[in-house]
Structure 1
């Protein structure tokens, strides 16, 4: 009997811990979104508006991801607790019945026992031993019922904050588009020849062929400032927040193997350059969709493919952390803000990271393993 009571108390305690974790997670995410909102308000007056908006969008992406995770955890814990309470209705009813019979004014009949004073004493000792455990279980039950109500209220509040955050981050993306279009202060290494670029695209069928011909599409090239990735290789941040979907050399569903990695991102995710680089190409290419090719150092290229919006022009020199584009999928989601986008159970199921960014590293026009260049253990 005592063992059963102890085990029950452990189960209730574990459930309570899960609820506390979910609530803490959601509240921390709410704080992150409030900070991102403050950053958005301050971005208008920032000296470097592009950098301010970039940091704001990244803060929103982090906060929104945490909010979805906390919201999903709260929903799961609430569902588990509700199911547990429903499955133990009979036990709870018995517990309430026992507690009710142990009122503050016991009847004299309760003090009598068929075995006389000895039996009465033993029954009293047993009752004295079980009473604290029963009271603890009653207190835990009361607390869990309150937690169900708290978790439900938390989900409503979190969903509202998520909705507001999504609206604000979309506004930040729109402002970033305008800020990037107005930017004229970037140094330029060379000018792209659009005719030569068109000929190169039309005459090549592979990324290898296009990369090898990049030097042929430039005019008025100046000597670049010396740039080196020494000490950074292997420690570079991924260009976007996401999860590695496929590593270099792994076959996709069609059996195609590519030398780069595929990063699953959320819709509208911002893509930035991990380090200072020269833009060698931006635009559609082969079957890769919109592509950005960066040259962080001589004879080294970073290829980011699959973007919806790309920023910058070939020849511009950009600093590390500069946005080079946005992932797609956002228009479809904003069309139904109250639908699946706000469903907490989508988080972690893979459906929330519907966009894919292809990342390839080339040195002397030979593909390298991106895992040796970037911190691919990052979880965005």
Structure 2
């Protein structure tokens, strides 16, 4: 399996309503991290329910529209699945094409996740400023009532709601000022109100635009995740001839993991007693360091999707490897672990369900649950290096894969 630059390893372990996932990455050694989502208690009042009112024509129409929207979404999803099946059937016969599609699609998912995270970051100050302006307007309620009352006396009609429809209120105030309808002693307050409403309207437009872009990106993300899942299924289907062997190896790996107390012990046990992991370790030791150009890593080798050994020696890849998932670093290698020890890896806080990809080429030594680490992935990166990733909800690779 291609492990560099985008092949799927798994998804960060967090679900709706839970805190962000914590993904832990380490080379050779890994610090344990465990987290728990908040518990939710629900209560229901006991009493005699009131008779339900008959739905109005508008309610019925709205429900019909919602039902049609759901049906349209289901139809679009089914059509997407059919298109994916055709596309993937065409590339499924070519290992290099399948690997390249996996790499590109996983990278696309990561890019869209980044766009959504950036949009959310831009929305935070916009939302905060909107609430600040609304709070300021609310605190000046009596002053605003006086200004609006004056407008009502001049225009002989009720002015628009200030916070519900700030655009209309802004237009009314501007018109009144231009026509000289605001008495001089109130002009300063009216102009201040215009400035606040102008900023509020601008903020509302910016927020709406950001949310529209996020909605488009979320739709794209859903489509790309569906494609990625289908590609992974195709890759696994191509290995269906080895299903029984893989299932047996997976069960054996879990059994062996119960016999050791440390990650070092787990790696040694896997590569000694598990056939597929032992073969992967043997291949890693035989392959040695990849060829270099003028003593430097051959970066062009990274573009070969059909390679079956690391494109770059792990020891030479310093500064070239990306994080396995989009997120915020919350613990750094060498820092305090909070209990008197030193961090042996890095920890990243991620969005729930974030896509996790392996940061380097390597052979899968272990993929499954291990003690407090949850779902754990161990790669033999060659040259005596092992890369460990923990904190995922699920892993979609098998022991022995490259």
Structure 2: stretches of 5+ with no match in the other structure: 1-79, 92-96, 151-172, 240-244, 290-311
| 1:22-52 alpha-carbon deviations (Å, 9 max, x no partner) | xxxxxxxxxxxxxxxxxx9999689532123
1:170-209 map, 5 Å = 170-183=222-235, 194=249, 197-209=253-265
1:1-380 map, 5 Å = 47=97, 48-87=100-139, 141-183=193-235, 194=249, 197-216=253-272, 217-218=274-275, 220=279, 221-222=282-283, 223-224=286-287, 226=289, 227-248=312-333, 249-252=335-338, 258-317=343-402
Structure 1: stretches of 5+ with no match in the other structure: 1-39, 106-126, 128-133, 318-380
Instruction: Name the CA shift for 1:84/1:297 in 2 (closer, same or farther; >3 Å).
Output: same
Q: CA deviation at 1:89?
A: 6.1
Q: Secondary structure at the match of 2:287?
A: coil
The 1-side partners of 2:224 and 2:341 are apart by 37
The 2-side partners of 1:144 and 1:203 are apart by 67
Q: CA deviation at 1:264?
A: 0.8
Q: Secondary structure at the match of 1:306?
A: strand
The 2-side partners of 1:83 and 1:60 are apart by 34
The answer to whether the Cα contact below 8 Å between 2:254 and 2:368 also exists between their aligned partners in 1 is: no
Q: CA deviation at 1:258?
A: 4.8
Q: Report the TM-score when normalising by structure 1.
A: 0.53
Which gives a bigger RCO, structure 1 or 2 (Cα 8 Å, sep 6+)? 2
Partner in structure 2 of residue 36 of structure 1: none
The 2-side partners of 1:104 and 1:307 are apart by 65
Instruction: Name the CA shift for 1:104/1:151 in 2 (closer, same or farther; >3 Å).
Output: closer
Q: Secondary structure at the match of 2:314?
A: coil
The answer to whether the Cα contact below 8 Å between 1:206 and 1:286 also exists between their aligned partners in 2 is: no
Aligned-residue Cα RMSD (Å) equals 4.4
Q: Report the TM-score when normalising by structure 2.
A: 0.50
| 1:80-106 alpha-carbon deviations (Å, 9 max, x no partner) | 122234445677799999x9999879x
Q: Secondary structure at the match of 2:364?
A: strand
The answer to whether the Cα contact below 8 Å between 2:363 and 2:380 also exists between their aligned partners in 1 is: yes
The alignment covers a number of residue pairs equal to 249
The 2-side partners of 1:156 and 1:203 are apart by 56
| 1:48-70 alpha-carbon deviations (Å, 9 max, x no partner) | 32123212211221111122122
